[in-house]
């Protein structure tokens, strides 16, 4: 709204001698607001209104005044209610509420206009957390700094909350607290760096696991299912058909909130068939009634003679079996796109980098498969070891190189091979588009 004129005049009879502030809107409509009987106080009120109008750039009055003076908790309740109305599950709304409540308390935000990016950044620098997850002994709970990943969860919650406030007219876009605040980098700043089990460690670890917990460990190694998914998995989520057995955890317990299917290897399917046949479970019962704690998991590592952390600080825990599943797939030559689907990742970078233990890849063996150049690199003739497979030698004669190139067509896709052969038959003198 553009303010055309602003002035102070003596009020009429109804104003009982008070001054009133008058202005004209962009459409020419005359507006007034009753001020005070004192001229200086009325002029001060006029100055305050002009500053407010200049700051909000939407009109003479602050359209968000009633909202910004309300407690943050009231806006939070309305936001959570709108999320539930939109179909968001408790798995999303509950952590979101807790994060905003913690920020409100830690940063001292009482009203909406007190929410600021500076106070959030100040809290983020020194934020700590009590580490008690899956601990059986909580007598001495350590306090540790929050990881960048967890801090970004608070960032995302505050951003979603403030964006909702802007969309619903509760604050102007210029008040958004995170306009000049960026997320923290996560790569290289992981609080818990994990590695994959080696094949020998898998065998030793399974030997140390008691029989009543061995099946859940086997399923974790063979499917990459997360701890929570295994704990809440029910027989109704398992299909043990002979043709294509699979596991399909409900979307409410999957991290991506999707109904993704995880195929089962035949040996794991046989294991679950036998488990169900030997039990009195119904379709609605959980597959695994109990899950091993972290302390028990660590004791099995010790019994197997496996160090909890390696020299680089990378740890082995329950989630490391998911890293192991991904690493074994890549080592077996499964295409990255297929591994990404089996891991239920939305970003292939997670599959190729974050969950892949590159230290276990046979990189040196792969180099030995490259063709050798039968050329001189010493003083006498071509230096090739006497026991070298002749099929690995790369020919240096042009004619033989062409012949080898023709033979390589057999390894190409049929359509591509046919196109290349047609181009070769056209002769060496044929011109191309770029010639």
Nearest Cα to Cα of residue 329 among 226, 248, 222 = 222
CA atoms within 13 A on the CB side of 67: 18
CA-CA-CA-CA torsion sign (248, 252, 256, 258): positive
pLDDT at 56: 58
Q: CA-to-CA distance for 9 and 121, rounded, in angstroms?
A: 47
Residue 45 Cα distances to 4, 74, 113, 243, angstroms: 18, 29, 21, 80
In whole angstroms, how far apart are CA 47 and each of 3, 6, 29, 122, 202?
14, 10, 21, 33, 75
Could you tell me how far CA 397 lies from the centroid of its own chain? 53
Cα atoms in the 13 Å half-sphere on the side-chain side of 129: 14
Query: Distance between CA 46 and CA 257 in Å, rounded?
Result: 54
145 forms beta bridges with 128
Owner of token pair 């969950």: 355
Are 60 and 23 in contact by the 8 Å Cβ rule? The answer is yes
User: Is 23 strand, coil or helix?
Assistant: strand
Handedness of CA 88, 92, 93, 94 (dihedral sign): positive
Nearest to 218 by CA among 242, 234, 204, 202: 202
Among residues 155, 171, 158, which one has the least CA distance to residue 100?
158
Tokens of 178: 């995170």
Are 1 and 25 in contact, with CB atoms under 8 Å apart? yes
**Residue 367 pLDDT:** 81
The pLDDT, as a whole number, for residue 129 is: 79
Residue 74, both tokens: 């009231």
Q: Which residue blocks in 147-192 are alpha helix, DSSP H?
A: 148-167
- Per-residue CA distances from 91 to 83, 84, 160 (Å): 12, 11, 16
- Residue spans of beta strands (DSSP E) within 210-366: 238-239, 246-247, 262-263
Number of H helices, E strands in the chain: 17, 10
Burial classification of residue 144, based on how many CB atoms lie within 10 Å of its CB (0-12 exposed, 13-18 middle, 19 or more buried): exposed
Please tell me whether residue 239 adopts helix, strand or coil conformation: strand
Q: Which residues of the chain have pLDDT under 70?
A: 1-17, 25-27, 55-64, 130-142, 187-189, 191, 373-435
The DSSP annotation for 321-356 comes to: HHHHHHHHHHHTT--HHHHHHHHT-SSHHIIIIIT-
Measure the CA–CA gap between 371 and 328, rounded to whole angstroms: 26
The backbone torsions φ and ψ at residue 362, rounded to the nearest 5 degrees and listed phi first, read -75, 65
- Give φ, ψ of 270 to 5 degrees: -60, -40
């Amino acid at each position: 709204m553009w303010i055309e004129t602003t002035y102070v005049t003596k009020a009429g009879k109804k104003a009982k001698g008070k001054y009133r502030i008058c202005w004209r809107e962009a459409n020419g409509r005359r507006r007034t607001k009753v001020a005070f009987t004192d001229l200086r106080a009325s002029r001060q009120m006029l100055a305050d209104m002009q500053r407010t109008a200049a700051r909000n750039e939407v009109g003479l009055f602050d359209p968000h005044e009633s909202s910004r003076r309300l407690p943050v908790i009231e806006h939070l309740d309305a936001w959570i209610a709108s999320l539930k109305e939109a179909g968001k599950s408790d798995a999303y709304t509950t952590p979101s509420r807790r994060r905003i409540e913690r920020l409100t308390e830690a940063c001292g935000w009482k009203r909406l206009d007190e929410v600021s990016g500076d106070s959030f950044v100040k809290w983020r620098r020194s934020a700590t957390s009590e580490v008690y997850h899956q601990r059986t002994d909580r007598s001495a709970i350590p306090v540790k700094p929050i990881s960048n990943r967890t801090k970004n969860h608070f960032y995302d919650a505050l951003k979603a909350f403030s964006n909702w406030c802007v969309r619903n007219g509760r604050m102007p876009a210029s008040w958004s607290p995170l306009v000049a605040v960026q997320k923290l980098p996560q790569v290289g700043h992981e609080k818990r760096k994990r590695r994959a089990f080696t094949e020998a460690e898998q065998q030793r670890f399974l030997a140390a696991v008691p029989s009543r917990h061995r099946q859940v460990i086997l399923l974790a190694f063979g499917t990459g299912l997360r701890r929570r998914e295994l704990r809440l998995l029910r027989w109704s989520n398992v299909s043990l058909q002979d043709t294509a057995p699979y596991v399909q955890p409900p979307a409410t317990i999957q991290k991506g909130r999707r109904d993704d299917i995880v195929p089962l290897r035949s040996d794991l399917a046989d294991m679950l068939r036998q488990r169900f046949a030997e039990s009195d479970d119904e379709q609605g019962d959980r597959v695994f009634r109990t899950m091993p704690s972290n302390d028990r998991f660590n004791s099995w590592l010790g019994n197997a003679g496996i160090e909890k952390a390696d020299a680089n600080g990378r740890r082995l825990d329950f989630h490391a079996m998911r890293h192991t599943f991904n690493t074994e797939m890549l080592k077996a030559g499964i295409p990255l796109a297929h591994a990404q689907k089996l891991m239920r990742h939305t970003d292939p970078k997670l599959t190729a980098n974050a969950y892949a233990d590159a230290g276990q890849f046979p990189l040196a063996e792969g180099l030995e498969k490259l063709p050798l150049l039968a050329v001189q690199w010493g003083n006498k003739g071509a230096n090739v070891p006497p026991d070298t497979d002749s099929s690995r030698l790369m020919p240096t004669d042009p004619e033989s190189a062409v012949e080898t190139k023709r033979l390589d067509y057999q390894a190409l896709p049929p359509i591509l091979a046919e196109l290349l052969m047609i181009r070769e038959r056209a002769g060496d003198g044929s011109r191309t588009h770029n010639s």
